[in-house]
């Protein structure tokens, strides 16, 4: 049995994949890779050092699909590999980019979203929307203070540059997840 799986039940989508430790390692690496690829989809935000990227969506999906243990391990791998020089942080000029706090938040968001998904937080559109909203809040809880420290911005300026421009995108990503995750569960449960 894998160290990541919950004995006797399929709590998240990754638990449907056969295998144990090798499967879990592959899923953790794949989740980090998916997040790294999604980070390359980026749009600059005027007045903000933080771009709009696909990595937030990927980080939350990875957490929901892999569960809290694999999801947080995957995001931790993403963070550590990026800090070690893998060029997948968007706009990183290695050192401490102003957006690194958001990446640190991915580790906690992956854990939170995975925990909630294992308890049914990804089974219906409404629950999925709530789960994704909480995941986004976890990311902002780390991203905004880091942005303030890295740039010298006050709270109001950091919220204006590091949260407000992303709310519409977060709503769209949440709507996508609210359709995608419950639909995937419906397909899986049809068998």
What is the pLDDT at residue 62?
A: 95
Determine, yes or no, domain membership for 23. no
- What is the rounded distance in angstroms from the CA atom of residue 42 to the CA atom of residue 85? 19
Band of the pLDDT at 2, cuts 50, 70, 90? Answer: low
Q: What is the pLDDT of residue 128?
A: 94
**Average confidence score pLDDT of the chain:** 87
Range with lowest mean pLDDT among 17-31, 139-153, 157-171:
17-31
pLDDT of residue 102: 93
Asked, for residue 139, whether it belongs to a domain, the answer is: yes
Q: Is residue 18 a part of any domain in this protein?
A: no
What was the pLDDT predicted at 95? 52
The whole-angstrom separation of Cα 45 and Cα 70 is 31
pLDDT tens digits for range 9-24: 557 777 776 677 788 8
Q: What is the pLDDT of residue 186?
A: 86
pLDDT in tens, 62-82: 999 999 999 999 999 999 999
Residue 76 counted as domain residue: yes
Between CA 51 and CA 147 the distance in angstroms is 13
The reported pTM is 0.84
In a domain, 7, yes or no: no
DSSP code at position 83: H
The CATH number covering residue 99 comes to 1.10.1760.20
- 43 SS3 class: strand
Q: Rounded distance, CA 164 to CA 63, Å?
A: 24
Residue 16 lies in a domain: no
Contact at 8 Å (CB) between 125 and 179?
Answer: yes
Q: Quick check: 90 pLDDT over 80? A: no
Number of structural domains the chain divides into: 1
The answer to whether residue 120 is domain-embedded is yes
Residue 98 confidence (pLDDT): 83
Q: Is residue 4 part of a domain?
A: no
Has residue 119 got a pLDDT over 90?
yes
pLDDT surpasses 90 at 111: yes
Q: What confidence score (pLDDT) does residue 59 get?
A: 94
64 within 8 A of 113, measured Cβ to Cβ: yes
Q: What is the pLDDT of residue 9?
A: 53
Query: The domain containing residue 118 runs over which residues?
Result: 29-186
């Amino acid at each position: 049995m894998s160290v990541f799986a919950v004995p006797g039940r399929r709590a998240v989508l990754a638990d449907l994949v056969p295998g144990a430790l090798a499967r879990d390692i592959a899923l953790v690496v794949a989740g980090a890779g998916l997040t790294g690829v999604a980070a390359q989809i980026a749009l600059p935000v005027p007045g903000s050092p933080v771009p709009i990227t696909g990595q937030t969506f990927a980080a939350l999906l990875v957490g929901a699909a892999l569960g809290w243990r694999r999801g947080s391990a995957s995001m931790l791998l993403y963070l550590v590999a990026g800090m070690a020089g893998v060029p997948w942080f968007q706009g990183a000029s290695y050192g401490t980019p102003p957006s690194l706090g958001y990446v640190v938040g991915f580790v906690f968001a992956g854990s939170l979203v995975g925990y909630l998904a294992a308890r049914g937080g990804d089974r219906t559109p409404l629950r999925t929307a709530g789960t994704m909203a909480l995941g986004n809040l976890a990311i902002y809880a780390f991203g905004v203070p880091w942005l303030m420290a890295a740039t010298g911005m006050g709270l109001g300026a950091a919220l204006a540059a590091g949260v407000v421009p992303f709310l519409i995108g977060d709503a769209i990503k949440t709507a996508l997840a609210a359709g995608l995750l419950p639909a995937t569960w419906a397909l899986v449960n049809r068998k």
